[in-house]
Amino acid sequence: MADEARKLAHGATRIDFQTDPSRYRHWKLSFDGPVATLAMDVDENGGLFEGYLLKLNSYDLGVDIELADALQRLRFEHPEVKVVLMRSAKPRVFCAGANIRMLAGSEHAHKVNFCKFTNETRNGIEDSSEFSGLKTICVANGSTAGGGYELALACDHIMLVDDGSSAVSLPEVPLLAVLPGTGGLTRVVDKRKVRRDHADVFCTIEEGIKGKRAVDWRLVDEIVPLSRLDETVAERAGEFAAASNRGSGKGVTLKPLDRTFRADGVDYSLVAVDIDRDGRVATITLEGPSDLPPADAAGLAAQGSDAWILKLARELDDAILDLRNNAYEIGTFVFKSKGDGAKVAAWDAFLEANAGDWLANEIRQYWKRVLKRVDVTSRTLVTLVEPGSCFTGLLAELVLAADRSYMLSGTFEGDNRPAPTMALTSANFGPYPMSHGLTRLANRFLATPETVSTLEARKGEAMDAKAAEAAGLVTFSLDDIDWADEVRVYLEERASYSPDALTGLEANLRFAGPETMESKIFARLTAWQNWIFQRPNAVGEEGALRRYGTGLRPQYDMRRV
């Protein structure tokens, strides 16, 4: 790709979420049978932007992009791996957390999107443990601070070196006047179940906690003397590998994505993104499968990363991340699809029938994570069901994920394609839950849960616009006379509202009902960190982020809000 294709409209360089191990600058990935080691060795001169050094294994978005890629490759390319050791390649420091100079110099939107991606990556570590049997052990040496401890918190087991100086800490409140990424606070009390008073002490002292107290307060799982570290790590890795239920098979190579960037969008092989900058709208069109699924799991493995649903998931994931981080001014995502709904249904049936196969399972888990990324994206989501659409089963989840959906009743004048239909499959009733644990249908019909059972009995039924509206699956059905004007007015209206108000509105409405640790993390990120990152106490000229390391004390507005 030419360098100029990476330039955005305002001249900045595009943040690219695609990488591979040959290009890593900050991580070293090695293998020993069922055990992989991810060693953090951050290149201090390898920051994503200029103006800061990534000292002491501190990280920025570029470091986390590599981590996310490594974790994805472990899941798809190395099914033989059952345990991942998360370690530091540097002496006397595991990770100093998010780079403070980067945070101080970044615009607000970048800071919040950075925190969101970081938490999504850590959620992925926990997801791999629960649903893939891929366990993670953190070996914390030296300082394990802030985001470094958040990384440890995402692991199944935390080992802290007992050398009199190694400690874990969340020092952001006393040092920087910001929250520990919200995920840190939530995992401390929800996941590790640290007592509230102990957590209060822990999160308000700069030096952190080490040794026996760190174990007693549940901040780590065990302390290990340096003299026995390698022996104990090997022993623990063996125990976790023996207990893993991870499937086995031959890994599939995740090939580079086929992408072409243009001034008004991006073209992938199965996804097209068209950007209307004046209207602040991105239209994301997904292409259904051209072929039926393979006959069996062996056929899926033979297709590898060219398999329709895996390729589609990877391309949509990249498109969402690209828009999130490179097109802040685009406030509305419009989802469309084209293809044969019957073939989508066939892929759904294939994945369900082969759910016990490691690769089919990983693909389902990945599609689930992509849909969750859509759910927590701070943009208005609208889905248009038009002639030629294939919103069936796993693609129908994008109709159910939308803040609003429109479906054409009948056809467009002069269009010889049949009237659109949508259909539900087993994919809509369990395998792709939202962050709070509910399916999108259960979330939609919280007041009438019996509706979900009624709809389950209608699986496979091709519903036209009137039937889909009556079933509650779309917001409005419109004929061709009203379609263009209604959609145009809606998009113009949305573009006229305050983006801040819309972010709050949508985040509150999307997740009805119960909460999980995961949904709490994103709700609090949207609310608290979004707010705190704009407050002068943190980011003002005399705020803590600006004055950190200068020797000057921050000046706070002491009024509680």
Give the pLDDT confidence of 85-102 residue by residue, as tens digits. 999 999 999 999 999 999
What's the token pair of residue 377? 């994206």
For residue 500, the enclosing domain spans 260-508
* 229 & 272 share domain: no
- Decide if 367 contacts 313 (C-beta within 8 A): yes
Residue-level pLDDT at 133: 96
Determine the average pLDDT of the residues in 322-334. Answer: 97
pTM (two decimals): 0.96
Is 230 in the same domain as 81?
A: yes
Say how far apart CA 242 and CA 83 lie, in whole Å: 9
Confidence check: pLDDT of 11 > 70? no
Among residues 484, 508, 532, the one where a domain terminates is 508
Within-domain flag for 558: no
Q: Same domain for 223 and 299? A: no
Task: Decide if 551 is inside a domain.
Answer: no
- The model's pLDDT over 259-318, given as tens digits with 9 standing for 90+, comes to 999 999 999 999 999 999 999 999 999 999 999 999 999 999 999 999 999 999 999 999
Question: Are 85 and 29 contained in the same domain?
Answer: yes
Distance of alpha carbon 251 from alpha carbon 70, whole angstroms: 14
Which pLDDT band, with edges at 50, 70 and 90, does 454 fall under?
very high
Same domain? For 269 and 227 the reply is: no
229, 305: one domain: no
Confidence band, pLDDT 50/70/90 cuts, at residue 179: confident
Tokens 């409005």 identify what position? 476
Q: Clarify whether residues 230 and 264 are in a common domain.
A: no
**β partners of residue 334:** 283, 382
pLDDT at 255 > cutoff 60:
yes
Q: Quick check: 233 and 37 in contact, CB under 8 A?
A: no
Using pLDDT thresholds of 50, 70 and 90, give the confidence band for residue 248.
confident
Query: What does the alpha-carbon distance between residue 76 and residue 311 come to, in Å, rounded to a whole number?
Result: 13
Of 463, 485, 508, the residue that ends a domain is 508
529: DSSP letter = I
278 and 399, same domain (yes or no): yes
Q: Which of 481, 508, 535 is the last residue of a domain?
A: 508
Same domain, yes or no: 341 and 235 = no
Helix (H) or strand (E) holding 343: helix 341-353
Task: Specify the residue for token string 């989840």.
Answer: 397
The answer to whether 160 touches 226, Cβ cutoff 8 Å, is no
CB contact set of 514 (below 8 Å; sequence gap of 6+)? 436, 437, 438
Q: How many domains does the chain have?
A: 2
Same structural domain, 206 and 266: no
How distant, in Å, are the alpha carbons of 376, 401, 440 from that of 509? 11, 11, 13
pLDDT band at 136 (very low <50, low <70, confident <90, very high): very high
Based on the domain organization, do 284 and 219 belong to the same domain?
Answer: no
Give the mean pLDDT of 153-180.
Answer: 95
Share the mean pLDDT of the chain.
95
> DSSP string covering 100-138, please?
HHHHHHS-HHHHHHHHHHHHHHHHHHHHHHHHH--EEEE
Q: Which residue has the tokens 């893993």?
A: 244
Q: What are the backbone dihedrals phi and psi of residue 513, each rounded to the nearest 5 degrees, phi first?
A: 85, -140
- Is there a single domain that holds both residue 266 and residue 171? no
CATH value at residue 34? 3.90.226.10
How far, CA to CA in Å, does 280 sit from each of 80, 276, 414?
A: 45, 6, 29
Query: CB-based burial of residue 48 (10 Å sphere; 0-12 exposed, 13-18 middle, 19+ buried)?
Result: buried
pLDDT of 5 strictly over 80: no
